[in-house]
Structure 1
Amino acid sequence: MIRPRVAGLFSLLLAGTLVAGCSGSDDAAGGGFSGGGGGGLSCPVPVGPMAFAVSGRANSPEPGLPQAVQDATTSVLTRSVDQDYRPRITLVNVDGRPVSAGSETFSSDAGNGIAAEDDRNTFLNGFGEALTGLRAQTPEVDVLTALDLAGRSAGGPRPGTVVLVDSGLSTVAPLDFRQRGLLDAPPNETVDALRATNSLPGLQGETVVLAGLGDVAAPQAALSPAQRSSLVALWTAVAQAGGASCVAVVDEPRGGDAPSDVPPVSPVDVPPPPTITPGQATTLPDDNSVGFQPDTAEFRDRNAARAVLTPFAQFVTAAPNNRLALTGTSARAGTPESQVDLSTRRAEAVKALLVELGAPADRITTRGVGSQFPGYVEDVGPDGRQLPGPASQNRTVIVEPSG
């Protein structure tokens, strides 16, 4: 019986500099394929090429596949034997300059099911070792390019699958989360900006699986649930805009330390939640905790906003002389009149929620100033297009306590 060359290029990867310091044990960060036991993905995974964008890099846990992704990969290889199809499996190294780290085609000439299963498991073991051993080579991290490379690798006459396993905190333009406000910007604005510069990844007709988004390792500061939600929403929107037929988000958390002896990645600033400080102005950001739906005065998450604003309401009720002055600000979009109107309505929405939380209405004043305020950040580019990060910074409600 002829056995396939299942280890092939993945074995060569293990011997090269890309995988220095790898571990091939079955319990290495989920890299060993344990088979079964994982929850299913929300998208169907076709029998076709698969590309995995992953890396052992700074500020992100060591690479590995969630159980649901392991199960889906095992299923593709199993069904490929029944369909007499040879799927190509590609690894893309996610770092500051992503590259295709290599690929291998799975096939089995086994004459019975048990032998075919042995071939599949041998292939998966080699693939798992190569994946868990992959290491970044270039400083910073360009997730957008890695996703595009994976999309191209999984392209072809059959629908393919792209799997991204990363924190998602890219630090390379045009999606550099070190730019203040970008993490909080509405996904549609960021997608529009990427589309305008032809920067969306090519994922036409492919299934995209996103895993580990928002899961970080020191020295990167942890994200809040609202910030992780923003990140998931953004990458989902990017994949959909890139043409993905279906996007599945794996919620299984990734943990552990980042690998050692890899190029540095700049930490992304993670603003703390707003807090009330007597005598000091506090800015309520336009984020998933206390921000608004685009172009409206409707909170993105009213319950989250209640949690943030409860201490502010308690401050007002704590003493008869305590007061809050709310000033709404906006990006420079639309007419000056519409900017003032929207920023006023958002300040009024914050007041209404504070009153709902028990704060006396007569101790809270509101006004809207649109984009005419001292802290305004230029949010329109030379081409006249809105800049998502700066625009998000300008959409705030400033709280000035007194008492």
Structure 2
Amino acid sequence: MTSRTAGLLSVLLAAALAAGCSSGEDAAGGGFSGGAGGALSCPVPVGPLAFAVSGRANSPEPGLPQAVQDATVSVLTRAVDEGYEPRVTLVNVDGRPVSAGSETFSSDAGNGIAAEDDRNQFLNGFGEAVTGLRAQTPEIDVLTALDLAGRSAGGNRPGTVVLVDSGLSTVAPLDFRQRGLLDAPPAETVEALRANNALPGLQGETVVLAGLGDVAEPQPALSPAQRSSLVALWTAIATAGGASCVAVVDEPRGGDAPSDAPAVSVVDVPPPPTITPGQTTALPDDNSVGFQPDTAEFRDRNAARAVLTPFAQFLTESPSRRIALTGTSARAGTEAGQVDLSTRRAEAVKALLVELGAPADRISTRGVGSRFPGYVNDVGPDGRQLPGPASANRTVIVEPSG
């Protein structure tokens, strides 16, 4: 974005925030409306507000979920009662996030009705600024946008940061185009960001996450397990960044992406594992059939049962069929430790197959650690593990025969 474009956007936002477009009974204009959006799981303090919102490709058109609108109305209403003037900032989430502008809300109204009119006028202008927001730079850097919003909401009072985006960032150091990153354990990714001093600054702030995992074409949709992983990751990032409380808005966002926004790369979304007789299948390290870090305990045993049921059925359909299970691992720790962990994970898959009715004597297991064809380098130049490739290397390979 050029400085002139950023300046124009800031001026337009400031004008919208200051002037609004209507008041009184027309308070629903600009995308704000009254309604029961449901209470957030975090208390929202009377303090600065920063909204990081994307009007970009591959994500639905910008807007605020009802729960976020209700919380914003509450903050401005209480601010008048307390004689506080909160600063409201809008951050444009794209490949190079910038502040689209900010304005301080104040009211010198002498009675409640007039104060409500001032509040609605302000919100109408802000709502129109939100829905009219458009990305200016290709790709999407959600991490930097969250940090910029965190700094914008700082001050002598605890502030609130609202992120409205699918969360599928495509800019390093959090680029979901990197194989395996979508499935990597959140704690592992957080530690990698911490090591690179890349965690957002959210000290003491309330963080509200909305629209995570909600995408628009051509971005393929996420499965429930993949969306759950994404929500868990961004919650962990906000917490590690110092947030006092993190609320996730489950209200889904839908619709098409803006047609007048720069391109954003599509993030590959691996399909759920399926079995094809005679073909090898690698069970991914994800929320459907993956394991807790450094253990042979399934992340979600019920989800793993659903994935493995077709494998068990494959074995029971013919006495000549067999399955070989090979556990693989990331290159972490000693080679003996890698082999041990990958063996125990292969044994855990076998145990669950047997529980599902598969004959144990037709299932073989072994662990090879990180020494296997197709290993992806998961150690960076500094010797630290790379979360995405490490996750991609943690599999149990199923080789059916017969």
TM value normalised by structure 2: 0.94
Deviation of residue 384 (structure 1)? Answer: 1.0
Query: Which residue in the other structure is 2:12 paired with?
Result: 12
Q: Which amino acid aligns with 2:215?
A: V
Contact 1:210 1:248 in 2 (8 A): yes
Percent sequence identity is 88
In the alignment, is residue 373 of structure 1 matched against residue 397 of structure 2?
A: no
Q: Mind listing any 5+ residue stretches in structure 2 that lack a counterpart?
A: 1-8, 17-25
SS at match of 1:369: strand
Contact 1:326 1:347 in 2 (8 A): yes
CA distance in 2, matches of 1:10, 1:281: 55
CA distance in 2, matches of 1:247, 1:13: 27
In the alignment, is residue 204 of structure 1 matched against residue 199 of structure 2?
A: no
Deviation of residue 36 (structure 1)? Answer: 3.1
CA distance in 2, matches of 1:110, 1:243: 37
In the alignment, is residue 283 of structure 1 matched against residue 273 of structure 2?
A: no
Query: Which residue in the other structure is 1:62 paired with?
Result: 61
Query: Which residue in the other structure is 2:145 paired with?
Result: 146
CA distance in 2, matches of 1:134, 1:55: 7
RMSD, matched Cα? 1.5
In the alignment, is residue 244 of structure 1 matched against residue 243 of structure 2?
A: yes
Deviation of residue 10 (structure 1)? Answer: 7.4
> In 2 relative to 1, CA 120–349 (structure 1 residues): closer, same or farther, beyond 3 Å?
same
Contact 1:11 1:126 in 2 (8 A): no
Q: Which amino acid aligns with 2:250?
A: D
CA distance in 2, matches of 1:27, 1:395: 50
Deviation of residue 13 (structure 1)? Answer: 3.2
SS at match of 1:34: coil
Contact 2:27 2:121 in 1 (8 A): no
Contact 1:53 1:164 in 2 (8 A): yes
Deviation of residue 112 (structure 1)? Answer: 0.4
Query: Which residue in the other structure is 1:394 paired with?
Result: 393
CA distance in 2, matches of 1:78, 1:32: 18
CA distance in 1, matches of 2:377, 2:27: 51
Q: Which amino acid aligns with 1:70?
A: Q
Query: Which residue in the other structure is 2:272 paired with?
Result: 273
Q: Which amino acid aligns with 2:316?
A: T
SS at match of 1:401: strand
> In 2 relative to 1, CA 118–383 (structure 1 residues): closer, same or farther, beyond 3 Å?
same
Contact 2:343 2:368 in 1 (8 A): yes
Deviation of residue 280 (structure 1)? Answer: 1.0
Contact 2:28 2:124 in 1 (8 A): no
Deviation of residue 11 (structure 1)? Answer: 7.3
SS at match of 1:327: strand
Query: Which residue in the other structure is 1:92 paired with?
Result: 91
Q: Show the 5 A alignment for 1:87-236.
A: 87-236=86-235
Contact 2:14 2:101 in 1 (8 A): no
SS at match of 1:227: helix
Query: Which residue in the other structure is 1:314 paired with?
Result: 313
CA distance in 2, matches of 1:371, 1:132: 48
Query: Which residue in the other structure is 1:5 paired with?
Result: none
Q: Count matched residues.
A: 385
Q: Which amino acid aligns with 2:150?
A: G
> In 2 relative to 1, CA 64–41 (structure 1 residues): closer, same or farther, beyond 3 Å?
same
CA distance in 2, matches of 1:154, 1:44: 16
**Runs of 4+ residues over 3 Å off in structure 1:** 13-16, 25-28
Contact 1:322 1:401 in 2 (8 A): yes
Query: Which residue in the other structure is 2:257 paired with?
Result: 258
Q: Which amino acid aligns with 1:13?
A: L
> In 2 relative to 1, CA 261–26 (structure 1 residues): closer, same or farther, beyond 3 Å?
farther
